[in-house]
Structure 1
Amino acid sequence: MLCRTASRIVNRNEVTRLEETCSRVLSFCNSNSFREGISVHSPIIKLGLQDHLYLNNNLLSLYAKCFEVDKARHFFDEMPYKDVVSWTGMLTAYVKSGNHDVALSFFDSMLIYGQCPNEFTLSSVLRSCSALGEFEYGTCIQAYMIKQGFDQNPILVSGLIDFYSKFDFTGEAYKLFINKGNHDTVSWTMMISSFVQAQRWNQALLLYIDMVEAGVPPNEFTFVKLLAACSVLGLNYGKLVHAHMLLWGAKLNVMLKTALVDMYSRFQRMEDAIKVSNLTSEYDTLLCTAVISGFAQNFMFQKAIAAFCKMRISGILPNNFTFSSILNVSSLMLSLELGQQIHSRVVVAGLDDDVSVGNALVNMYAKCSDKIEDALGVFGGISLPNVISWTSLIAGFAEHGFHRDSIHLFMEMRATGVKPNSFTISSIIGSLNAAKSLPQTLMLHGLVIKTNLYKDIVVQNALIDFYAGVGMLDDAWQIVHMMNHRDAITYTSLASRMNQMGHHELVLHIITNMYNDDIKLDKFSMASFLSAAANLGMVVTGKQLHCHSVKSGLGRWISASNGLVDLYGKCGCIRDAQRAFGEITVPDIFSWNGLISGLQSNGFISSALSAFDDMRLAGVRPDVVTFVLVLSACNNGKLVDLGLEYFQSMSEIYDVVPQLDHYVHLVDMLGQGGRLEEAMEVIQTMPFKANAVIYKTLLRACKAHSNIPLAEDMARRGLELDPSDPAFYILLANLYEDSGRHDLGEKTRNVMREKRLRKNPSHSWVGIRNKVHLFVAGERSHPQINEIYEKIESFEAEFKNHGYLYQGMRTGDSNYHSEKLAVAFGLLNTPSKTPIHIIKNSSICRDCHDFIKFVTRLVGKEIIVREGNRLHSFGKGECSCKGS
């Protein structure tokens, strides 16, 4: 009897030890998510411990972590005994797997079976309510918490703060936070996260200060949220938070490194981002993806590709976000080959059915492939296209010029029940803009007003761009004034469109609007303002913008640098243009075109053609604009044979198809060189239907070489195309008179009078102290007109004393041309050594040309007159055109 009792004691002790062993194994495997821990299940059954509630709860947790949720549920259903831990474990498994509907149903079952939930159960239920948008259900849970005395529980308070924040009730979340008191690190961090999520960046940082003053130590999650706020507030804030991380001794884990890389990347500080990422050897997929994305955002495409390759070599598997980032690189590089290689890796990784990757593929093929069918094929492979999928496809069709198709896709998208977002609407407005479809845009505008999207700044900016693009500036400004918030894009769109319409002075006024709205100039707005200053010849304003770009760091952006090259070239400051060009690290095609344009328009023909050669040696392929500039340089330099060689090389060497503008320059070059028959042959054999401009060009050459028969033919052909253009009559009449056929000249002028055709009055403008002053021939309304006329007359008296004579003085014509008035006004209102910059809407006449030359002999001042794309730089009695 005693022996049997002793044996039972030994067996019981042995079973207890086995229980403890199984418990330790399960606990260890649970902590490390080791699937091997499931093998303990079999010994538990053999030992007859299958009813052991503690062991079963551990097994349930392991099943949930390492296997599908269905297997965990099967085990749960077989458990003979269940407690609140069992139910909560299964509920948490559903929540983590994203089965929120099932989770809430399971919670209802738990209550029906009489189980009382604990704080962990209720926390999981709140997460499901947030995910499903079940606000009322969540408030019922809060009521239950209060009844059960859980309202001060820190875990549930944090859960409620997160719940209300997800529904944009940040105020309610903050009330909960304040009322609770005695916060721990988790609740402080949750409240900071709520402010960040609500885009209340400043409040997030202020709350962090309160947290520190309350003596609560922040953790790595706190700093991650703060860095997200700093990514919006500015680099200095980010550096400060980084310093606080070091002060608090926060462990630089991979999560924190990822947040820091993301923050520094947003402020173009990739050196700092990489330095942070290399501080420890720990890397994961998210960190690698952040590095790749950072390089992509900063247009460092080769480094992004290298980072992707390094990631794969390191054995870190890319996820859907990684592939989306690298596909974005191929889209920005317009590299179809790279995109196709990434596509093949996507298929190997089994992510070709992922929506985010599919969207990136649609975007890549839409931008990189000549065949829109490639993008359409990828789109068709997405099982459930979302709004981003549709928007990418719509934008792709628009970019390929299929504007009507993109509009049809938009209608199809709405028919499938997918609601457009602000970017969809923006893309459609862009298509309607390109198609100049005002009625459809007005209809879309009405549709948008009925939705919350009308208040979205992306949609508002797209509408502003459309209305400004079709010349409806009042409507565009009306939207601007009603906006609650404006950004740099708002004003840049306006500035760009107004530049296109020639409202350059109004463009410069936009700077004041941006200043009043506390909006900083960016690289795009800076380029628009520099363009406006260039077109007005306002070099002083341009230099002020140049100073601002240097101080603000915008000068390192190539768009701003190109704007400076254009500005100084158009204002006759060619050395400044060359200096601005020299400061560009890697000049692009726009940089080179700007330099060549400045050189050729200022009369530096050989330098312009040398720049063209340098451009080719630098590996930059010329485009259609480049050849317009090169042909113009050959034309101005009377280099006819060289111009013919360049024209021939366009299609033969550079695969650039000549456009009508190139033929106009070719005809002008041949015509001015006296090769009128060849010029006529070019018109007859070119692959375009001749327009009035090309006939007018050859007519002007006929006048220069006194070829009346061909001139009459050109005038007849030109007037058939444009009967209301008086230039044909004027050029022909002048030719007759120059050839001694005054009767024909008068007859031609009479025909023009009978048709009531009048030459548009030429006008000139000059910018003084950031204000543009416009002058028309015979101007009498200007406040300083008496002083201006007196100044001209005083110069003419001086000319007579020095023996300088020109045609206007001989005829005694007092109806002064606009450029004379502008010159006199500039001399009256600028310091003695300050150059005068004048712009004229037509060619400067010989009379005024001589007048300005003589003026510079007397005053020792530089006067620059721009006519179209050509500049006359007068100084010391000479002109840069050398009389040509």
Structure 2
Amino acid sequence: MISKTATKIFGRTELPCFQETCSHLISFYNSKSLRQGVCIHSPLIKLGFQDHLYLNNNLLSLYSKCFTLDYTRQFFDEMPYRDVVSWTGILSAYVKHEKHEEALGMFQEMMGSGPCPNEFTFSSVLRACSALREFSYGKCIHGRVIKHGFDSNQILGSVLIDLYSKYGSIEEACRLFSCVDNGDVVSWTTMISSLVQAGKWSQALRIYIDMIKAGVYPNEFTFVKVLAAAGFLGLQHGKVVHAHLIVFGVELNLVVKTALVHMYSKCQRMDDAVRISKLTPESDMFLWTAILSGLAQNLELREAVVAFQEMEASGFLSNNFTYLSILNACSLTLSLDLGRQIHARVIMTGLEDDLPVGNALVDMYMKCSHGAKDGLRMFQGIQSPDVISWTSLIAGLSEHGFHRDSFDLYMEMTASGLQPNSVTLSTILRSCRAAKSESQLLKLHGHVIKTNADHDIVVSNALVDAYAGNERVDEAWDLIRNMSQRDALTYTCLATRLNQMGHHEMALHVINHMFNDDIKMDGYSMAGFLSASAGLNSLETGMQLHSYSVKSGLGSFISVSNGLVSFYGKCGRTHDAERAFAEISKPDIVSWNGLISVLASYGHISSALSAFDNMRLAGVKPDSLTFLVVLFTCTHGGLVDMGLEYFNSMEEMHGIEPQLDHYVCLFDLLGRAGRLEEAMEILETMPVSPNASIYKTLLAACRAHRIVPLGEDIARRGLELDPSDPAFNLILANLYDSSGRSDLAATIRRSVRDNKGSSPPQKSCSSHPVLA
């Protein structure tokens, strides 16, 4: 009711004009989100306009934009009249402040008060359901949406698509999208985003093409999602989307620029990613983190450190995300020294209690250290470890071979009340595969089924890998057939394990199943199929795969390039192997090891050693496998002194501690040259205990050079180490034959035949007390 005071001051004819002025003022302040607009509230009350519903709704919106939720709720409670706009305004405020449960409570109150909800009301309620993962309630709201005739509404269509896709109902999301009348850029982008989140990248790109055909122009948010899909599909797709971005004239702002950096990083084109990041002067922590993360994922540690320094020089202080990227790079490149330095920086900046950083440190120490003690110590320093902390520790112990301890820790984690996530389950399943533990695998599979975790494709893929790794191929196929969703990794796991079992032809048949499922090969699956072709010595199949990799853009993946080097090498096509290597823009350690191995295997000794020198000149640090290949090269080239130099340089120059395999190669090198006295001196002083392979290698050298006394001594040592191995007696018998002692040779062979039926003694398996 208009107050008498207001009537006296302005007169009845002037009041409507004043109301309109107030309305315009509040609308202006509301549109600009200017909190000064609330100053009009007091005069409105004094002039008796507190009952004006339109003005109050505008004030409510202003309060929700500029003030706390408490002030907004207080104003709403004091409103004498409320309509659907009022209720929708308070609901929107609750959702905006992430008070989703309260929002649903307000909706129930609204439904009891009488106003009929509109499309904006339903939009806020559905967003709250989505945030709370209240899928059942969301479906009920969807029913009301249909009942009120909003089932083809653009605004609600986008929200419903998002809701259903978050719960894995992509088919329902697609059906809803097809029902939306004249979909706008928001609904198209929401559909694309849903498909990207579900890992259906090809389908996301097809929707994007349909969007353009429908005459709906994509905006920057559309391109962010499409670039994410293109990053998984390969460089060729990424370049096309980048070209579209330019054609449509989308501004290269920070969001778009960061999406481009992510895409090129995913396609292993860090030069392009860095170049794009510098096209405009604007930068923020998200862009720097994208660059650092991309460099880390592409194992460009030196460049990552330089980028880290450039970021700090630009005035951006390192935060936990920065350190996470650098620590991830250290983990991927096994750079323990840099990891320790970053750890020191973390402590100096006061981030040692940050949980994600602590988890990254556990992961770094577990992957980079020779043992598990550093990672365990880091884990014990975390006050409240979460599921990621436990998963990092379990994965680290499994990688170090402590499979029983990893199982025990898994049980301890679940007993503490923490539920394993998909990464935890895939990690412990990987441990089951490595340990060949079928009993643990069956128990875990039962738990996965009981908790419905098998609906997660990551867990399902890990189950396939574990069963195939335990040579239970039929069960692995059954799992694949029953999976609701399959991807390239599903089949890559199976093909990899089939290759390891020598079933190369079966591995190649996996290609047909991928084709039937409309799943395209990625870089890893292509490498697996090339490996199968090499195993079968099938040049024609491998060349067809090579051709496909070029046409599909997979040739840019380093895993494919390395697979081609190995394939052509195993098929005896050394020139093709060298050409495949030459086409790699930035060869990694696997590339160089593959090239050196191919050259050495076909007797190109000088070329193999030259490749080793070129690798070091290129700045690629040799690893343990490199030296195995180099020692093999020296052995077959008769380069004894050079081989000794390489062996001695392992620890002195490269910090690589020789393992038993290196000593086997060394003794083979010395044994073939007849330098057995020198070999025995090394045997007596080597820091690791010799295994049966070392004694067999030395015994074979004694046979070749007919050195009976030393051969007898080595055979005795070998039999003491492994009495069940008949090879020692057989090699010794050959030594006696070549030395003219056929009688002794016959006696030994008779003894081997007589003992053939006896069972070898069982070895005991002790646990690793790393957690004591």
TM-score range, shorter chain: 0.7 to 0.9
Q: Give the counterpart letter for 2:711 in structure 1.
A: A
Query: 1:22, 1:40 within 8 Å by CA — same for their partners in 2?
Result: yes
Q: Give the counterpart letter for 1:523 in structure 2.
A: G
Query: 1:363, 1:375 within 8 Å by CA — same for their partners in 2?
Result: no
Range 435-444 or range 527-536, more displaced = 527-536
Query: 1:361, 1:378 within 8 Å by CA — same for their partners in 2?
Result: no
Query: 1:595, 1:611 within 8 Å by CA — same for their partners in 2?
Result: yes
Q: Give the counterpart letter for 1:336 in structure 2.
A: G
List aligned pairs for 1:136-535, cutoff 5 A: 137-138=137-138, 155=155, 328-329=328-329, 331-334=331-334, 336=339, 340=343, 367=367, 371-373=374-376, 376=379, 380-381=383-384, 385=386, 390-483=390-483, 486-504=486-504, 506-508=506-508, 510-511=510-511, 513-514=513-514, 517-534=517-534
- Provide closer, same or farther for how the CA distance between residues 455 and 660 of structure 1 changes in structure 2, counting only shifts above 3 A: same
Q: Give the counterpart letter for 2:32 in structure 1.
A: N
Q: Give the counterpart letter for 1:527 in structure 2.
A: A
Query: 2:91, 2:103 within 8 Å by CA — same for their partners in 1?
Result: yes
Q: Give the counterpart letter for 1:372 in structure 2.
A: G
List aligned pairs for 1:736-755, cutoff 5 A: 736-755=736-755
- Provide closer, same or farther for how the CA distance between residues 284 and 115 of structure 1 changes in structure 2, counting only shifts above 3 A: farther
CA distance in 2, matches of 1:554, 1:208: 22
CA distance in 2, matches of 1:679, 1:279: 61
* DSSP-derived class of the 2:622 partner: coil
Question: Could you report, residue by residue, the CA deviation over 1:452-472 in whole angstroms, capped at 9, with x for unpaired residues?
Answer: 333544333323322333344
Range 200-209 or range 426-435, more displaced = 200-209
Q: Could you say which residue in structure 1 is the equivalent of 2:560?
A: 560
Range 269-278 or range 402-411, more displaced = 269-278
Q: Could you say which residue in structure 1 is the equivalent of 2:66?
A: 66
Q: CA deviation at 1:416?
A: 4.9
Q: Could you say which residue in structure 2 is the equivalent of 1:595?
A: 595
- Provide closer, same or farther for how the CA distance between residues 300 and 682 of structure 1 changes in structure 2, counting only shifts above 3 A: closer
Q: Give the counterpart letter for 2:694 in structure 1.
A: I
In the alignment, structure 2 segments of 5+ residues that lack a partner are 759-772
Question: Could you report, residue by residue, the CA deviation over 1:776-808 in whole angstroms, capped at 9, with x for unpaired residues?
Answer: xxxxxxxxxxxxxxxxxxxxxxxxxxxxxxxxx
Q: CA deviation at 1:26?
A: 4.5
Q: CA deviation at 1:441?
A: 1.2
CA RMSD of superposed structures (Å) = 5.0
* DSSP-derived class of the 1:380 partner: coil
Q: Give the counterpart letter for 2:379 in structure 1.
A: L
- Provide closer, same or farther for how the CA distance between residues 308 and 98 of structure 1 changes in structure 2, counting only shifts above 3 A: farther
- Provide closer, same or farther for how the CA distance between residues 26 and 574 of structure 1 changes in structure 2, counting only shifts above 3 A: same
List aligned pairs for 1:696-711, cutoff 5 A: 696-711=696-711
| 1:643 is the counterpart of 2:643 | yes
Query: 2:358, 2:378 within 8 Å by CA — same for their partners in 1?
Result: no
- Provide closer, same or farther for how the CA distance between residues 341 and 18 of structure 1 changes in structure 2, counting only shifts above 3 A: farther
Query: 2:224, 2:256 within 8 Å by CA — same for their partners in 1?
Result: yes
Q: Give the counterpart letter for 1:380 in structure 2.
A: Q
Question: Could you report, residue by residue, the CA deviation over 1:437-495 in whole angstroms, capped at 9, with x for unpaired residues?
Answer: 22111111222233433354433332332233334444444434554554433343334
CA distance in 1, matches of 2:208, 2:545: 39
CA distance in 1, matches of 2:601, 2:16: 97
Q: CA deviation at 1:166?
A: 5.5
- Provide closer, same or farther for how the CA distance between residues 494 and 52 of structure 1 changes in structure 2, counting only shifts above 3 A: closer
Q: Could you say which residue in structure 2 is the equivalent of 1:675?
A: 675
Q: Could you say which residue in structure 2 is the equivalent of 1:777?
A: none
* DSSP-derived class of the 2:668 partner: helix
Query: 1:339, 1:364 within 8 Å by CA — same for their partners in 2?
Result: no
Query: 2:358, 2:382 within 8 Å by CA — same for their partners in 1?
Result: yes
Q: Give the counterpart letter for 1:663 in structure 2.
A: Y
CA distance in 2, matches of 1:615, 1:123: 59
Query: 2:539, 2:571 within 8 Å by CA — same for their partners in 1?
Result: yes
Q: Give the counterpart letter for 2:383 in structure 1.
A: G
Q: Give the counterpart letter for 2:464 in structure 1.
A: I
From the CA coordinates, give the structure whose radius of gyration is larger: 1
Q: CA deviation at 1:285?
A: 6.6
- Provide closer, same or farther for how the CA distance between residues 296 and 45 of structure 1 changes in structure 2, counting only shifts above 3 A: farther
CA distance in 2, matches of 1:357, 1:101: 31
Provide the TM-score with structure 2 as the length reference: 0.78
Q: Give the counterpart letter for 1:562 in structure 2.
A: N
Query: 1:238, 1:263 within 8 Å by CA — same for their partners in 2?
Result: yes
CA distance in 2, matches of 1:635, 1:722: 27
CA distance in 1, matches of 2:31, 2:691: 80
Q: Could you say which residue in structure 2 is the equivalent of 1:764?
A: none
- Provide closer, same or farther for how the CA distance between residues 206 and 528 of structure 1 changes in structure 2, counting only shifts above 3 A: closer
CA distance in 2, matches of 1:521, 1:198: 18
CA distance in 1, matches of 2:448, 2:705: 62
- Provide closer, same or farther for how the CA distance between residues 622 and 27 of structure 1 changes in structure 2, counting only shifts above 3 A: same
- Provide closer, same or farther for how the CA distance between residues 611 and 98 of structure 1 changes in structure 2, counting only shifts above 3 A: same
Range 41-50 or range 574-583, more displaced = 41-50
Question: Could you report, residue by residue, the CA deviation over 1:472-523 in whole angstroms, capped at 9, with x for unpaired residues?
Answer: 4444444345545544333433343344444455545555555555544433
- Provide closer, same or farther for how the CA distance between residues 160 and 573 of structure 1 changes in structure 2, counting only shifts above 3 A: closer
Q: Could you say which residue in structure 1 is the equivalent of 2:664?
A: 664
Q: CA deviation at 1:734?
A: 3.9
CA distance in 2, matches of 1:751, 1:573: 46
CA distance in 1, matches of 2:152, 2:753: 94
Question: Could you report, residue by residue, the CA deviation over 1:555-601 in whole angstroms, capped at 9, with x for unpaired residues?
Answer: 43333333444445455544444444444333333333333333444
Query: 1:331, 1:339 within 8 Å by CA — same for their partners in 2?
Result: no
Q: CA deviation at 1:730?
A: 4.3
In the alignment, structure 1 segments of 5+ residues that lack a partner are 759-884
Q: CA deviation at 1:674?
A: 3.2
CA distance in 2, matches of 1:405, 1:179: 54
CA distance in 2, matches of 1:173, 1:516: 24
CA distance in 1, matches of 2:493, 2:207: 37
Query: 1:366, 1:375 within 8 Å by CA — same for their partners in 2?
Result: no
Query: 2:6, 2:47 within 8 Å by CA — same for their partners in 1?
Result: no
* DSSP-derived class of the 2:706 partner: coil
Q: Give the counterpart letter for 2:707 in structure 1.
A: N
- Provide closer, same or farther for how the CA distance between residues 280 and 57 of structure 1 changes in structure 2, counting only shifts above 3 A: farther
Q: Give the counterpart letter for 1:440 in structure 2.
A: Q
CA distance in 1, matches of 2:210, 2:564: 47
Q: CA deviation at 1:229?
A: 6.5
Q: CA deviation at 1:94?
A: 0.7
Q: Give the counterpart letter for 1:468 in structure 2.
A: A
* DSSP-derived class of the 1:653 partner: helix
CA distance in 1, matches of 2:628, 2:213: 67
CA distance in 2, matches of 1:416, 1:626: 44
Q: Give the counterpart letter for 1:671 in structure 2.
A: G
Q: Could you say which residue in structure 2 is the equivalent of 1:624?
A: 624
CA distance in 2, matches of 1:175, 1:527: 37
- Provide closer, same or farther for how the CA distance between residues 668 and 249 of structure 1 changes in structure 2, counting only shifts above 3 A: closer
Q: CA deviation at 1:164?
A: 5.6
CA distance in 2, matches of 1:527, 1:637: 31
List aligned pairs for 1:813-828, cutoff 5 A: none
CA distance in 2, matches of 1:551, 1:228: 21
Q: Could you say which residue in structure 2 is the equivalent of 1:129?
A: 129
Range 561-570 or range 146-155, more displaced = 146-155
Provide the TM-score with structure 1 as the length reference: 0.69
CA distance in 1, matches of 2:179, 2:534: 61
- Provide closer, same or farther for how the CA distance between residues 136 and 737 of structure 1 changes in structure 2, counting only shifts above 3 A: closer
CA distance in 1, matches of 2:558, 2:212: 43
Q: Give the counterpart letter for 1:597 in structure 2.
A: S
List aligned pairs for 1:10-49, cutoff 5 A: 26-35=26-35, 37-38=37-38
- Provide closer, same or farther for how the CA distance between residues 416 and 281 of structure 1 changes in structure 2, counting only shifts above 3 A: same
